[in-house]
Structure 1
Amino acid sequence: MTTTTAIPLRDPVLAERLTARLALVEERLRDAVTHADPLAHDASRHLVNAGGKRLRPLLTLLAAELGDGGRREVLDAAVVVELTHLATLYHDDVMDSAPLRRGAPAAQEVWGNSVAILTGDLLFARASATVAGLGPEAVRIQAATFERLCLGQLHETVGPRPGDDPVAHYLQVLSDKTASLISTSARFGAMFAGCRPDAVTIVSRFGERIGVAFQLADDVLDLTSDGDVSGKTPGTDLRDHVPTMPTLLLRARAAGADATPEDLAVLELLDADLTDDAALARAVAALRAHPVVDETRARAVELARAAVDELDGLPAGPVKEALVSFADALVDRAS
């Protein structure tokens, strides 16, 4: 398989073209986070310099291959979605008290919470300036995406209301907080490449489904991989008692009439004080071995397959093959 990107690419010509265009996006991204103010400059470039998969801009470039992928507007759109994603990471890490991001100290660990939050705001501003050059429809789509990102974070923060299904609430959070921007990434690519409206709709729906599957796979990886793979400290969500799909499924089991002693024992570990590293390690190990992790993995697989089904209306070829391979790789990633 030929690929130097986060999406598996079997076609060497497509791989070479996307790799070259992604390098152009990287240059534009670094230009976009350049500031005359030294503090703003250093803080804005912190996560750019830490690297990352660049999944969202790559998806923009790949979807654009369904039309004229070489248009300047496609590159600008790819920069917009990555700037938006980076901005959310600065805010997320403050809210989650995450010490690491992409293997490097999170921004608030270096400059404090206030600077990290304001840096995220600066990146949102740069994304807005770039998207303004793409026209009013792009601005409208970006605004709607930003609204969903905020709603996702808001609903994650306050949690489900009394009577709400916690699992359904969590899936809606993932749809808004993660899938919305992945969907927009694909939509922008097809849209600015001049694709037909039906193709734009297809890749948007694919992005929505694959975005939720991607986050469920992350929930699994946070328990089953080490920090070198995930780029984050394993068990951070457990330590902060942030709900994830495995913990929600465990709580549902423990509250049911068929709860087992194992369910209750693992839940007791999760509800303990996890500020101690040894206690956190025990909780991670116990949850990792529980069937709810396999159940979460199965849900990710189901959503990835549903995403592939959305691609039925696309013409056969290397672009469709790459999107299918991406869904397959996501499933393998959580296995």
Structure 2
Amino acid sequence: MATVSPATSGGTAPGLDPTHRSGSRAAGLAFAPVAAEIAEAERIFDSTLAPHRGPFGPLIEHLKHYRGKRLRPALLLLTAKAVGKITPAHHALAAAMEMIHTATLVHDDVLDEAEMRRHAPTVNAGWGNKVSILLGDMLFTHAFHLTSTVDGRACQITGEVTNRVCAGELRQVTERGNLELTEADYFAIIDGKTAALTECCGRLGALYAGASEDVAAKLGNYGRSLGLAFQIADDLLDLVGTEDAAGKTLGTDLEQQKLTLPVIHCLNRLPPTESAKLRDAIRTNAEGLGARVLQALEKTQSIAFAKRRAEELARSAKQELECLPRNECRAILEAIAEWSIRREK
């Protein structure tokens, strides 16, 4: 896991090793209190897809490149352990949340025409768009089947969240090319495409550990604010990150005329004539566009603005954890909020 700032916790939170970068090994170290439970969720994930290894084993095997930080199952399991006891239902739900997340990544790579994710070729780069779409669909259906082994309420909550995720993704696609996109529009998009699933993880973890509806709502709010902060940080990386560090294709937002928070802020802060010229450059994918946008972002201090918004959301996320007793899992959840806005990948 990327280095986590100890500024708000008085040091490194228990179970977090700041010397490791994100990835499966680091995630195991960072989420030590629920490492065994994450392993069980991964076993369920693998066994669910095992029947498909015969007809398309290399494709199923390639999905390991899409399973990096295990953030969503970890959130579900950490919130569960923070309020009560982890049960077999949590293992199934954690696997289902990871399947939904993986499905969205596979589909996102098609939409973004991305060729690399986590330092490996994307599914669409190796097998094409048709296979990628069907694979993502299959992951969605398996996730719903897993939640059906828990109970009807889990299915309902999961159905609601996937509706929000898909609506957020659809809205983002239909807003491509809208160079008048507002901050409110942007937050509506990422609230669906990213924050809905992290919100669901916090809520499900608490509910199935016996927490009250009020506590479950607060932990859902934690997940939502965390997801929003995480997405802003991700959008910043697309502008100022490096592909070697991020391990995935960057620069796709501008190429596809998807406005993100720093660019929206920049366009609104520039003098009207300069703003119009920059919009034209984005619309036509003008030569040297990246450098022009970065120069404008620096002029309007839009990178700093977006970072502040992410930091505000991370603080809001941590405030929601006041409903929890002070324990190791709460400390890790607080540290995850800090890490989400300071990561490099």
Bin for the TM-score computed over the shorter chain: 0.7 to 0.9
Q: CA RMSD in A?
A: 3.0
**Aligned in 2, Cα 1:267/1:36: closer, same or farther, shift over 3 Å?**
closer
Q: Which residue of 1 aligns with 2:153?
A: 137
User: Structure 1 CA distance, aligned partners of 2:121 and 2:176?
Assistant: 31
Could you say which structure has the greater relative contact order, defined with CA pairs below 8 angstroms and 6 or more residues apart? 2
1:245 equivalent in alignment to 2:261: yes
User: Structure 1 CA distance, aligned partners of 2:284 and 2:181?
Assistant: 24
Q: Which residue of 2 aligns with 1:215?
A: 231
User: Structure 1 CA distance, aligned partners of 2:240 and 2:292?
Assistant: 12
User: Structure 1 CA distance, aligned partners of 2:53 and 2:63?
Assistant: 17
1:300 equivalent in alignment to 2:310: yes
User: Alignment partner for residue 246 of structure 2, among 227, 230, 233?
Assistant: 230
- Tell whether the 8 Å contact from 1:87 to 1:119 is kept in structure 2 after alignment: yes
1:128 partner amino acid? F
**Aligned in 2, Cα 1:197/1:144: closer, same or farther, shift over 3 Å?**
same
1:3 equivalent in alignment to 2:35: no
1:195-240 deviation per Cα after TM superposition (whole angstroms, max 9, x unaligned): 2222211100111111111100111122222123322222121222
1:286 equivalent in alignment to 2:299: no
User: Structure 2 CA distance, aligned partners of 1:142 and 1:288?
Assistant: 38
Deviates more, 1:70-79 or 1:225-234: 225-234
1:36-56 deviation per Cα after TM superposition (whole angstroms, max 9, x unaligned): 464544323423244411100
Q: Secondary structure at the match of 1:243?
A: coil
TM-score by length of structure 1 reads 0.86
**Aligned in 2, Cα 1:61/1:37: closer, same or farther, shift over 3 Å?**
closer
- Tell whether the 8 Å contact from 2:176 to 2:258 is kept in structure 1 after alignment: no
**Aligned in 2, Cα 1:208/1:36: closer, same or farther, shift over 3 Å?**
closer
Query: Identity of counterpart residues, as a percentage?
Result: 30
User: Alignment partner for residue 328 of structure 2, among 304, 318, 327?
Assistant: 318
Unmatched tracts of structure 2, length 5 or more: 1-11
Residue 287 of structure 1 and its aligned partner are, at CA, apart by 5.6
User: Structure 2 CA distance, aligned partners of 1:141 and 1:283?
Assistant: 44
2:285 partner amino acid? D
Q: Which residue of 2 aligns with 1:197?
A: 213
Q: Secondary structure at the match of 1:247?
A: helix
- Tell whether the 8 Å contact from 1:187 to 1:200 is kept in structure 2 after alignment: yes
- Tell whether the 8 Å contact from 1:76 to 1:130 is kept in structure 2 after alignment: yes
- Tell whether the 8 Å contact from 2:16 to 2:30 is kept in structure 1 after alignment: no
**Aligned in 2, Cα 1:287/1:219: closer, same or farther, shift over 3 Å?**
farther
- Tell whether the 8 Å contact from 1:34 to 1:45 is kept in structure 2 after alignment: no
2:295 partner amino acid? A
Q: Which residue of 1 aligns with 2:41?
A: 25
- Tell whether the 8 Å contact from 2:181 to 2:264 is kept in structure 1 after alignment: no
- Tell whether the 8 Å contact from 1:66 to 1:195 is kept in structure 2 after alignment: no
Q: Secondary structure at the match of 2:51?
A: coil
Unmatched tracts of structure 1, length 5 or more: none
